Amino acid sequence: DSAPWDNFQPPRHHTNFKLGSIGESVVLTELDTPAQNTTYLALGDSWKYFDQGSLPAANWHTSAYNDTTWPNGNSELGYGDGDENTVVSYGPSDAQKYPTTYFRTTFNVTDPSAIGELNCRAKIDDGAVLYINGTEVGRPRMGSGTISYEILSQSSASESTFDDIIIPIGTIVTGTNVIAVEVHQRSQSSSDISLNVEITAVEFSSSPTTIDSVTYGPQVDDISYGRNPANGGNWTYFGDPTPNAAN
């Protein structure tokens, strides 16, 4: 007989973890209806942008920020390539262009619990940091640490390349969600920047069904707890390390 975890298939199956000082729990759930592909944000959709050569505000990337004074336009947004739907400013100097330009838009989600997988495809020239509701979800071609307005990207990007970013479902809320992107130049003499983003989801129409779960107290160092295929799939304490094995 197979154990409940043997046929784990994302995005149909999810593992949910709850950690606390008095113990932990793990739950395996299954969505048993056919998957549906949903587009939350399409290429060419409208964005707001800030191209004034400074950081708009410390909380510019959050849902609480008021962007009503920002201009808006359809993507692709940018300058220098001739294929933009909306051309943004790089400032008064062709040789010292603004290093960073800021973008925001929203998309609506009716039921985050129905999402099995959430994907972002982003055409970004050169580098960027992406946020969902204030939480960073990706930073293609950007370095580690704090990214300020003056920071340049670590490398250039091909105009035809899209970055694939998996968005953690836990960043999504019911109703209006904010995606914010700061696009960074490779150099201030670079000829162009670009932004065009698509967000799609694999959704299921039914509520998830719990097919396996376990709750246990505080763990002892170097002891793991899991289903043992050699013991009928029962929950067992493992005293020896079991890398790459079912536990």
For residue range 211-225, what is the model confidence (pLDDT) as tens digits? 677 676 666 666 677
Residue 176 contacts by C-beta under 8 Å, 6 or more apart in sequence? 63, 106, 107, 108
Cβ–Cβ < 8 Å for 50, 68: no
Statement: residue 246 has pLDDT above 80: no
What is the C-alpha separation between 77 and 47, in angstroms, rounded?
A: 8
Write out pLDDT tens, residues 141-185: 999 999 999 999 999 988 788 999 999 999 999 999 999 999 999
Count Cβ atoms within 10 A of the Cβ of residue 38 and give its class: 0-12 exposed, 13-18 middle, 19 or more buried.
Answer: middle
Statement: residue 122 has pLDDT above 70: yes
Write out pLDDT tens, residues 64-115: 999 999 999 999 999 999 999 999 999 999 999 999 999 999 999 999 988 8
CA 114 vs. chain centroid, Å, equals 17
Report if pTM > 0.85: no
What is the C-alpha separation between 28 and 118, in angstroms, rounded?
A: 19
